[in-house]
């Protein structure tokens, strides 16, 4: 597939997701479900490398990838469906070949939506393709079964769909029987969370956040195999590398002034009320660290699967993905004072003095709806307004908040203004792939 800043490319597009993911998450519980997702992602990425696929996006339990060669994409999809059965789960796949709109590393357009819609037709362990793709792989050793004509939501006309039945003369295996599935799922452990602190070790900084008022930077690291419940400075009692580190860097000397080990699985960070607020991705909580004393002040339970955090409107706001909610934390009491329900799975949150916004997009939402959703939260009533719809982005958007407005950007360089009432308005288009917005 050709890569350019803007234009179109002919590509084979693959979507996958885990069958019955919601029920599995409920069955396994948050920690075991995340362990399962981590193993699933490792398998999918291994097969993408094996078959020269390029990961475009991943959100939740789904992947969106592109290939230069249709036969490679079909073989990769079948390999993924087979390999993940070691975990006791089933994956389904949908593929299409077409001309997609390209911007930097991202793809969009009708061809993307067709592939996503084909995925929605697939059952456990099935690899479905359009007739367009089927006709491009004669002699590739792939056998297909006709699944008839289908109307694809949001796509004109009817589309003939085929299921991959065999590769190189070998039939695709049937789905796991329930007993085998249960036996393998039972082997998925919950990640261990030790309660003792760990001694600091070298880690790679991956997030840098300016600490306002302290003339320092907070640097977030994510190397090391241990997990746990806090942060500390100074020697510990065990020489086990931490999951991550919090480093204060002097802005004048540009040298680290202190390094704090984090013996839990770190996620996004925010700064408010003289503290660094850190998402613990494995244990559904926020860890508050005093920026002056470097001590853990609080461990605050939030909703299921916290994905993002922001400070504004006198509170700290946490987007709980599986919880379909935003938790509001009062920095004065370190308590969750409100849990605001949403009608989507939030992946982003932004807050300012008078506005709070939550946004989401995922592979599943693209398959079902073809748009990202973003909703304003009123900090005076703790209620979320009906969401705006941002069409045409199969990737997770980025989000920011101004004093009274929200701003959302897509991977394709489009920035929208989200007023408190009315429709989202296109504010600007920039020649860049957006990874963040700062208001």
Residue 13: which CATH number?
3.30.70.1230
In our burial notation (b when 16+ CB lie closer than 10 A, e otherwise), range 309-336 reads bbbbbebbbbbbbbbbbbbbbebeebeb
What pLDDT shows up at residue 136?
Answer: 94
* Residue 142 structural domain: 6-185
Backbone angles phi, psi at 313, to 5 degrees: 55, 35
Number of domains in the chain: 3
Percentage of the residues of the chain whose pLDDT score is greater than 90? 40
Nearest to 321 by CA among 364, 354, 288: 364
Is residue 284 in a domain?
Answer: no
Rg (CA), the chain: 23
| Largest Cα span, the chain | 68
Answer yes or no: are the C-beta atoms of 114 and 155 closer than 8 Å.
Answer: yes
What pLDDT shows up at residue 240?
Answer: 52
What pLDDT shows up at residue 386?
Answer: 85
pLDDT in tens, 4-22: 456 889 999 999 999 998 8
Please state whether beta strands 388-391 and 383-384 pair in parallel, antiparallel, or not at all (unpaired).
unpaired
For the four alpha carbons of 339, 343, 344 and 348, in that order, the dihedral sign comes to negative
What pLDDT shows up at residue 318?
Answer: 96
Which of the two residues, 208 and 155, has the higher pLDDT score?
Answer: 155
Which of the two residues, 206 and 165, has the higher pLDDT score?
Answer: 165
Answer yes or no: are the C-beta atoms of 340 and 326 closer than 8 Å.
Answer: yes
Res 268 pLDDT > 60: yes
pLDDT in tens, 221-233: 433 333 334 454 3
Res 289 pLDDT > 80: yes
Tell me, yes or no, whether 27 and 167 share the same domain: yes
Integer Cα distance of 205 and 222 in angstroms: 7
Tell me, yes or no, whether 81 and 138 share the same domain: yes
pTM recorded for the entire structure: 0.62
Contacts of 174 (CB under 8 A, 6+ apart): 125
What pLDDT shows up at residue 2?
Answer: 40
Give the pLDDT mean for 368-388: 81
Give the pLDDT mean for 295-323: 91
What pLDDT shows up at residue 226?
Answer: 32
Res 364 pLDDT > 70: no
Which of the two residues, 105 and 210, has the higher pLDDT score?
Answer: 105
Is residue 339 in a domain?
Answer: yes
Please state whether beta strands 398-401 and 388-391 pair in parallel, antiparallel, or not at all (unpaired).
unpaired
Res 45 pLDDT > 90: yes
Contacts of 333 (CB under 8 A, 6+ apart): none
Tell me, yes or no, whether 145 and 50 share the same domain: yes
- Give residue 348's pLDDT band: very low, low, confident or very high (50, 70, 90): confident
What pLDDT shows up at residue 171?
Answer: 95
Res 51 pLDDT > 90: yes
Give the pLDDT mean for 34-59: 90
Res 119 pLDDT > 50: yes
Integer Cα distance of 327 and 344 in angstroms: 14
Mean per-residue pLDDT over the chain, rounded: 79
pLDDT in tens, 403-419: 667 777 766 677 877 76
Tell me, yes or no, whether 425 and 402 share the same domain: yes
Give whole-number Cα distances, 157 to 114, 149, 153, 188, 298, in Å. 11, 10, 10, 44, 57
- Of 185, 206, 238, the last residue of a domain is 185
Residue 344: which CATH number?
2.130.10.10
Res 324 pLDDT > 80: yes
Is residue 291 in a domain?
Answer: no
What pLDDT shows up at residue 149?
Answer: 96
What pLDDT shows up at residue 214?
Answer: 37
- Give residue 168's pLDDT band: very low, low, confident or very high (50, 70, 90): very high
Res 177 pLDDT > 60: yes
Give the pLDDT mean for 123-132: 96
Integer Cα distance of 358 and 361 in angstroms: 11
What pLDDT shows up at residue 369?
Answer: 55
Tell me, yes or no, whether 166 and 196 share the same domain: no
Tell me, yes or no, whether 318 and 408 share the same domain: yes
* Residues paired with residue 64 on neighbouring β-strands, in sequence order: 15, 57
Tell me, yes or no, whether 151 and 256 share the same domain: no
Percentage of the residues of the chain whose pLDDT score is greater than 70? 76
Tell me, yes or no, whether 31 and 176 share the same domain: yes
Phi-psi region of 313 (alpha: psi -120 to 50; beta: other; left: phi over 0): left
pLDDT in tens, 187-243: 988 765 443 333 333 333 333 333 333 334 343 443 333 333 445 433 343 445 566
Is residue 133 in a domain?
Answer: yes
Tell me, yes or no, whether 59 and 204 share the same domain: no
- Among the residue ranges 2-11, 115-124, 130-139, the one predicted with the least confidence is 2-11
Tell me, yes or no, whether 253 and 338 share the same domain: no
What count of Cα atoms within 13 Å lies in the side-chain half-sphere of residue 234? 3
Is residue 287 in a domain?
Answer: no
What pLDDT shows up at residue 71?
Answer: 96
CA 352 distance to own-chain centroid: 23
């Amino acid at each position: 597939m050709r890569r350019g800043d803007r234009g179109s490319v002919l590509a084979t597009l693959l979507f996958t997701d885990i069958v019955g993911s919601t029920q599995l998450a409920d069955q396994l519980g948050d920690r075991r479900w995340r362990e399962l997702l981590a193993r699933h992602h490792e398998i999918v990425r291994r097969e993408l490398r094996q078959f020269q696929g390029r990961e475009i996006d991943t959100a939740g339990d789904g992947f969106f990838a592109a290939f230069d060669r249709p036969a490679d994409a079909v073989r990769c999809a079948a390999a993924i469906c087979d390999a993940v059965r070691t975990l006791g789960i089933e994956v389904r796949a949908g593929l299409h070949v077409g001309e997609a709109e390209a911007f930097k590393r991202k793809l969009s357009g009708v061809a993307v939506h067709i592939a996503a819609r084909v995925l929605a037709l697939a059952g456990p362990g099935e690899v479905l393709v359009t007739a367009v793709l089927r006709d491009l792989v004669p002699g590739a050793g792939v056998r297909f079964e006709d699944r008839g004509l289908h109307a694809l939501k949001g796509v004109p006309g009817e589309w003939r769909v085929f299921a991959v039945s065999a590769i190189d003369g070998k039939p695709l295996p049937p789905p796991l029987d329930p007993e085998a599935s249960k036996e393998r799922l039972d082997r998925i452990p919950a990640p261990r969370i030790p309660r003792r602190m760990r001694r600091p070790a070298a880690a790679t900084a991956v997030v840098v956040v300016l600490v306002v008022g302290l003339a320092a930077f907070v640097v977030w690291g994510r190397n090391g195999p241990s997990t746990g419940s806090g942060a500390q400075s100074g020697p510990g009692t065990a020489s086990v590398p931490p999951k991550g580190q919090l480093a204060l860097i002097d802005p004048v000397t540009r040298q680290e002034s202190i390094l704090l080990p984090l013996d839990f699985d770190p996620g996004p960070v925010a700064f408010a009320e003289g503290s660094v607020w850190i998402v613990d991705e494995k244990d559904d909580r926020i860890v508050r660290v005093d920026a002056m004393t470097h001590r853990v002040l609080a461990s605050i339970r939030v909703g299921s699967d916290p994905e993002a955090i922001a400070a504004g409107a006198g509170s700290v706001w946490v987007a709980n993905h599986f919880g379909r909610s935003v938790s509001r934390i009062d920095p004065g009491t370190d308590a969750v004072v409100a849990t605001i329900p949403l009608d989507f799975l939030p992946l982003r949150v932004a807050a300012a003095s008078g506005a709070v916004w939550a946004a989401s997009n995922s592979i599943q939402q693209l398959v079902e709806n073809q748009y990202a959703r973003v909703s304003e939260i009123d900090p005076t009533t703790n209620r979320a307004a009906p969401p705006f719809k941002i069409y045409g982005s199969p990737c997770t958007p980025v989000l920011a908040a101004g004093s009274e407005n929200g701003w959302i950007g897509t991977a394709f360089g489009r920035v929208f203004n989200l007023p408190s009432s009315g429709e989202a308005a296109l504010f600007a288009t920039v020649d860049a792939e957006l990874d963040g917005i700062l208001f």
